[in-house]
Amino acid sequence: MLISIKKVMFMPKNRIFSEKLFHLALPMMLEQFLMSSLFIFDTVFVGALGDEYLGAVGQAGNIIMLLWCGFFALSSAGSIFVAQYWGKNKDQTGIRKSFTAGLMFSMLLAIIFFVLSFFFSGEVMSVLTIDDNVRRIGAEYLRIVSFIFPIWSALSVLAGTMRSMGMTKKPMIASITGAVFNIVFDGLFVGGSFGLPKLGVPAAAISTVAGGVIEFLMLVFFARRSDSPITARRRDIVWPGREMVKRYLKTALPLAAKDQLWAGGVTVYSISFAALGVAATAAYNVYGTLVRFMDVLFMALGNAGGILIGHELGAAEIERAKNYAWRLIRMVFLSSLAICPIFILLRDLMLLPYPNLTPEAIGYARESLLLGSLIIWARGINYTNMDGILRAGGDTFGAAAIDIGMLWFFGVPLTVLAGMMLHLPFITVILMTCLEEVVKVGVSLFRVKKYKWAKQLV
């Protein structure tokens, strides 16, 4: 199936595709929006304590990001098979085997990160920052928040499985509930509102743990009331067998390597900004939080599109899956062009929740948001290609090679050189991280066009 830019841009409308996509994407979009809002509120409440506190929680958050990248990779590997088993006559046994495989490996990862974060929090933070006070605050936060890691492992697999079967509303409701509790608890106890005790960073960690527990319990409740193959009961645990484990690991290991090395690269980015000072560290963490908010639309479209394409591949509708892939890319690109100028104009408004940051940190954040808005189209296309289209067909090796290669052989060297070695201005260091996204667009589109992902796995 040959494709050209002109052919993609002038594809005739497909009402069925659009309706299916938005049916899946809208709950995800709302969920991503609220979760991104949660991260903003977290940084607002903690940022009110000062640059050092925001920098500490932001740096500690890199460890949580590493963990969630692992969860995402492992649950996504299972979800790839779930989506195709669902498209293949709703094969219950295959779905349960995929669910069990994801649960096993996610729990193992959670235990490893719990040991590191609880028993070696000081050592971990020593790698992330050179400031003693930032290190102490971050270690305290990590020790508390580590207790949610095992629950997060089960939560990620259960939510990913439900979404792959087209059940996107229930995970959304559970996420919203947990996020609202987290925000309210943060607002009351981090800064000590309404005469309540001011608990600072420990309150932020405790609210994260409590919010995660509430989200998980609600998701279990919804699963048990559903008529899907996965109802969060003992019968869902079906030993996957050697063949399923081999296929799962063949898919999961490139994903895990990609996501872990990607998170590791982003952590190196963070360390590079930390070398520029506390204000640069705080600004970079604010930028990371707000960029997540800016990318809500594309994360929802990419994930929903991947599920939709996976269903078509599972049903052996290969040509339709290819067509859907290019429609998805076009939709993401045109949407990004529409919202780019909006985010440029709203930069100052987006920074209003951070009045307690120093003027230097605010100035850095404003510069980074300008560049982030200008390349929003690149981030959208890359996310759709890597975590939607390629992943749907099990081309995890190709996605891993592109993400890891571009990050570690292009983005990281330039950022380390600019930040840690040459100590160039903040805007220059941010530019190095942006260039990696732009260059990756061409590579990821080339991989999509080769159609190695367009195959039935089950």
Q: What gap in Å lies between CA 379 and CA 75, rounded to an integer? A: 22
Q: What gap in Å lies between CA 80 and CA 386, rounded to an integer? A: 13
For the chain, how big is the Rg over CA atoms in Å? 21
123: burial class by Cβ within 10 Å (0-12, 13-18, 19+)?
exposed
pLDDT, tens digit, 9 for 90 and up, residues 308-336: 888 888 888 888 889 899 999 998 999 99
Under a CB-based contact definition with an 8 Å cutoff, are residues 448 and 312 in contact? no
Considering only CA atoms, which of 303, 321, 65 is closest in space to residue 162? 303
Helices 15-47, 201-224: crossing angle, 10 deg rounding: 150
Residue type, 361: A
The per-residue DSSP string of 50-110 comes to -HHHHHHHHHHHHHHHHHHHHHHHHHHHHHHHHHHHHHTT--HHHHHHHHHHHHHHHHHHH
Which pTM does this prediction carry?
Answer: 0.69
pLDDT, tens digit, 9 for 90 and up, residues 179-233: 888 888 877 877 777 777 777 778 888 888 998 899 999 999 988 887 777 777 8
Mean predicted lDDT score pLDDT of the chain: 83
Q: What gap in Å lies between CA 164 and CA 180, rounded to an integer? A: 25
Lowest mean pLDDT of 6-20, 393-407, 423-437, name the range.
6-20
The neighbour count for residue 337, using CB atoms within 10 Å, is: 12
Which residue shows structure tokens 């070398």? 275
> What percent of the chain shows pLDDT beyond 90?
17
